[in-house]
Amino acid sequence: MTEYAILLYANRDDLVGDGDGTEREEHDRYSEEMQEGGTMIAAFALESYETATSIRAGGITDGPFIEAKEVVLGFYVIEATDLDAALTEARRNPIIHQGGGVEVRPVEGFVVRPTSTE
């Protein structure tokens, strides 16, 4: 098994969740399915790109690191036998028919510290 990170992208002018909430619901459902199926190892939904701060050698600037039309909304890590299996899983992501897309990248390694309870 290999871990794959799936990064969610969407057009910053057309962000998921702005509507009546049905788009968000689709994501929740998809996430639950992956948790029940044991495919998903970890998931991180990020706050709006407007809350991002970037650091370069030249200093600190506001906003996302790459000035592009699309921004990262979040990412999750799944376990899959091979790239085809990972792509099959990733293709089910609702973001794809919501005007965005995903990027699938093999994970080289990761560490997760249990979240503090206090």
Q: Which residues bind another protein (CB under 8 A)?
A: 2, 81-84, 87-88, 105-106
**CA separation (Å) from 83 to 15, 43, 86, 88?**
28, 19, 5, 8
Nearer to another protein, 2 or 53 (CB): 2
User: Can you tell me the distance from the alpha carbon of 16 to that of 24, in angstroms, rounded to the nearest whole number?
Assistant: 7
CB of 4 to another protein, least distance (A): 8
DSSP 81: S
CB of 91 to another protein, least distance (A): 10
Angle at 73 between CA 45 and CA 98, to 5 degrees: 110
Nearer to another protein, 18 or 82 (CB): 82
User: Can you tell me the distance from the alpha carbon of 8 to that of 103, in angstroms, rounded to the nearest whole number?
Assistant: 7
Nearer to another protein, 2 or 61 (CB): 2
Nearer to another protein, 50 or 82 (CB): 82
Residue written as tokens 């998903």?
A: 40
CB of 109 to another protein, least distance (A): 12
CB of 107 to another protein, least distance (A): 10
